[in-house]
Amino acid sequence: MDEQTGQRFVYQDDEVLDKEFDWGQVKRLGKYLKPYSKQILPVIITMMIVGALTKLFNPLLIAYAIDNALREGGDPKLLIQCVGGMLLLYIIQWAANTYRIRFTNQIGQKVIYDLRHDLFSHIQKLSFKFFDKRPAGSILVRITNYVNSLQDLFTNGVVNLLMDCVQLVGIIFILLYFNIKLGAAIIVTVPIMFFISTKLRVHIRRSWQVVQSKQSRINAHLNECIQGIKVTQAFAQEKENMSFFDHMNLSNHKSWNRASTLNQSFNPIIEVTGAIGYCILFWFGAHLIQSQEITVGLLVAFATYIGFFWEPINRLGQMYSQMLIAMASSERIFEFIDEEPNVPEALNAKELPNVLGDIELKQVEFEYEPGRKALKGIDLSVKAGQSIALVGHTGSGKSTIINLLCRFYDSTGGSITIDGHDIRDVTVSSLRSQVGIVLQDTFIFSGTIRDNIRFGKLNATDEEVEFAAKAVRAHDFIVDMPQGYDTEVQERGNMLSMGQRQLISFARALLADPRILILDEATASIDTETELKIQEALKTLLAGRTSFIIAHRLSTIRNADNIIVLDHGVLMEQGDHDDLMKQQGIYYGLIQAQYRFLKEVG
Ligand SMILES: Nc1ncnc2c1ncn2[C@@H]1O[C@H](COP(=O)(O)OP(=O)(O)OP(=O)(O)O)[C@@H](O)[C@H]1O
């Protein structure tokens, strides 16, 4: 891969491979279990104890059968009773485990549902500043992958942990109780097994996480490539894309090989350690049988218990790994849940009453990054029903004024009032319900055209939807669509033209019927006929409302009641078209430039 290729895409890794064990996080996660503890936990614990005890009792029954029913002159009836007892124990164990797994899965799924619900509902409330800092991919990963990685912990992990502890303690107790010397000799292998299991697993898990992060990168790249496929093909960059993809693919392949090799080394090491345990048992056990300290039946039972050791130790090792991943995942999830919105609601915030639409900006200042002012001391007075056009060079601060009006950000100085109410003193939802916004990059959700218009007012009737569409001149093109209002618009409205999307968003805004309307005018790729339609639609939309328009079209600028000219965050000129033309300042220059451009292309 050449250097240029490597530098083109920079994907930030959001991964922390693991975290120290942290009781604070465990407690916080535990709170999600609390609502279900009374309902289902007693059932699970009972089933768990029944399952563990029946399992532990079985080898003792085998030992009893060997020592009493199988010896010379033994009772054949006793053998049948023992086998019957074993069968019964197996059935009870199977039933207890089946119910336990079913209930645990139910709780696990409920907990995951609650966690995902909390996370998503909180993320929806966060302000633009939060989204500015994070790529959409990293937010998605937290809602999907990180929450999923807790799923195992909640569905199996917690209960298995308890069960394994009960089983392990039970086995150790039985071994030491029936023969302390042999028991102690076998138990020596436990710490070795545990050590191997945890240490090696940590390495294995890390290597799989590397594989996962490589796959995430591939996904991110694929996502970007598919979104940008038109640009890639237009600039004939397929080869360059391919070589970058190959590089990532190869790196993923190598990391998979490494993880897989490590994984395969796990079982042989474990088997060798297990074999050592069996050797100790049979060598030492044989001596104890000769000295009549233990019976053959007990030796067989001990051998079975060694086999049982493995399961819980192995799972506890796995659980330890799982816990460390859960620590990292939950930390990431709670980091989002703890994130305070940058536009905090005042403690005694009140609902903004229905407003007329008088707006005052007093000495408004704003900086996205400390020390870089995007707006400097803006003073502006708008009467209800006036239309304001915001003009200025790119980066002059037009969108920033709009962002502050909607409280997507809070101003860093000065104040904004609507009908005398400071917008920081009212609830965000009551403010936004009276401010409608139509963005240049109109967002069309997947669903039907009707659903998209209804997004402005969810309880609107079909008649209201059609009325709004007719008012903004969208009705005609909608009824021409294959299924009219019920036409599916496909991903992000792919089947609609720019102008059609714009008209749908006008209908959506009209249906919401806000007192204050903000419009980021679309400029590109609209033919004259659609342009005329949009102008007509605009008249309907703006009638009787206070409106702010980031204006690009000469026609809109000319008709505005007040034109605000911004330059590097400073309000330089204001007035109507004729006033500003007379001044021959920045506005005059902008208009002249536009006329020259239109003349040249025309
Ligand atoms: N999210 C952001 N984080 C940091 N800086 C930003 C952010 N958004 C805008 N800016 C900066 O703030 C300044 C004003 O940007 P703004 O988007 O208001 O300009 P604009 O006049 O709307 O430009 P355009 O006509 O190109 O849309 C610019 O210097 C821009 O770089």
Residues of the chain with pLDDT under 50: 1-7, 16, 524-525
pLDDT 10s digits, 8-51: 555 555 554 555 667 788 888 888 888 887 767 788 888 888 88
**Is there an atom of ligand 1 within 6 Å of 441 CB?**
no
Has this prediction a pTM greater than 0.80? no
**Is there an atom of ligand 1 within 6 Å of 589 CB?**
no
ipTM: 0.97
* Interval between CA 105 and ligand 1 midpoint (Å): 49
* Interval between CA 185 and ligand 1 midpoint (Å): 73
Q: How many CB atoms lie within 10 A of CB 601?
A: 6
pLDDT of residue 4: 42
**Is there an atom of ligand 1 within 6 Å of 373 CB?**
no
If residue 288 lies in a helix (H) or strand (E), which one and from where to where? helix 238-290
Best probe residue, ligand 1, of 367, 398, 565, 566 (max atoms within 8 Å of C-beta)? 398
* Interval between CA 375 and ligand 1 midpoint (Å): 10
* Interval between CA 378 and ligand 1 midpoint (Å): 16
Best probe residue, ligand 1, of 378, 396, 518 (max atoms within 8 Å of C-beta)? 396
| 3 state SS for 526-573 | CCHHHHHHHHHHHHHHHCCCEEEEECCCHHHHHHCCEEEEEECCEEEE
Residue 138 and residue 219: Cα distance in Å, rounded? 12
**Is there an atom of ligand 1 within 6 Å of 395 CB?**
yes
- What are the structure tokens assigned to 254, written together? 């190598």
Query: Which atom of ligand 1 lies closest to the CA of 375?
Result: 14
**Is there an atom of ligand 1 within 6 Å of 342 CB?**
no
pLDDT of residue 1: 40
- Shortest-distance Cα residue to atom 4 of ligand 1: 368
**Is there an atom of ligand 1 within 6 Å of 397 CB?**
yes
* Interval between CA 523 and ligand 1 midpoint (Å): 18
pLDDT of residue 2: 41
- Shortest-distance Cα residue to atom 31 of ligand 1: 395
* Interval between CA 404 and ligand 1 midpoint (Å): 12
155-162's contacts with Cβ under 8 Å and 24+ in sequence apart are 155/104, 155/105, 155/107, 155/108, 155/109, 156/104, 156/108, 157/319, 157/322, 157/323, 157/326, 158/33, 158/104, 159/44, 159/48, 159/100, 159/104, 160/315, 160/319, 161/316, 161/319, 162/45, 162/48
**Is there an atom of ligand 1 within 6 Å of 392 CB?**
yes
Report the CATH superfamily, name and number, of domain 385-396+427-561+577-601: P-loop containing nucleotide triphosphate hydrolases (3.40.50.300)
- What are the structure tokens assigned to 115, written together? 């966690």
Query: Which atom of ligand 1 lies closest to the CA of 402?
Result: 18
- Shortest-distance Cα residue to atom 7 of ligand 1: 368
The neighbouring-strand residues paired with 574 are 564
**Is there an atom of ligand 1 within 6 Å of 322 CB?**
no
**Is there an atom of ligand 1 within 6 Å of 400 CB?**
yes
* Interval between CA 578 and ligand 1 midpoint (Å): 28
Best probe residue, ligand 1, of 400, 402, 552, 565 (max atoms within 8 Å of C-beta)? 400
- Shortest-distance Cα residue to atom 24 of ligand 1: 394
- Shortest-distance Cα residue to atom 28 of ligand 1: 395
* Interval between CA 368 and ligand 1 midpoint (Å): 9
Q: Render the burial of 71-82: b for 16+ CB within 10 Å, e for the rest.
A: eeeeeeeeeeeb
288: alpha, beta or left, given left = phi > 0 and alpha = psi -120 to 50?
A: alpha
Query: Which atom of ligand 1 lies closest to the CA of 569?
Result: 14
**Is there an atom of ligand 1 within 6 Å of 403 CB?**
no
- Shortest-distance Cα residue to atom 19 of ligand 1: 395
* Interval between CA 269 and ligand 1 midpoint (Å): 60
**Is there an atom of ligand 1 within 6 Å of 24 CB?**
no
**Is there an atom of ligand 1 within 6 Å of 375 CB?**
no
- Shortest-distance Cα residue to atom 25 of ligand 1: 394
pLDDT of residue 528: 65
Nearest alpha-carbon partner for 538 in 455, 461, 438 = 438
Domain positions in the chain are 3-337, 385-396+427-561+577-601
Nearest alpha-carbon partner for 331 in 13, 4, 20 = 20
Indicate the CATH number for domain 3-337: 1.20.1560.10
**Cα 531 off chain centre by:** 40
pLDDT of residue 416: 95
**Is there an atom of ligand 1 within 6 Å of 369 CB?**
yes
- Shortest-distance Cα residue to atom 20 of ligand 1: 395
**Is there an atom of ligand 1 within 6 Å of 317 CB?**
no
**Is there an atom of ligand 1 within 6 Å of 374 CB?**
yes
pLDDT of residue 569: 92
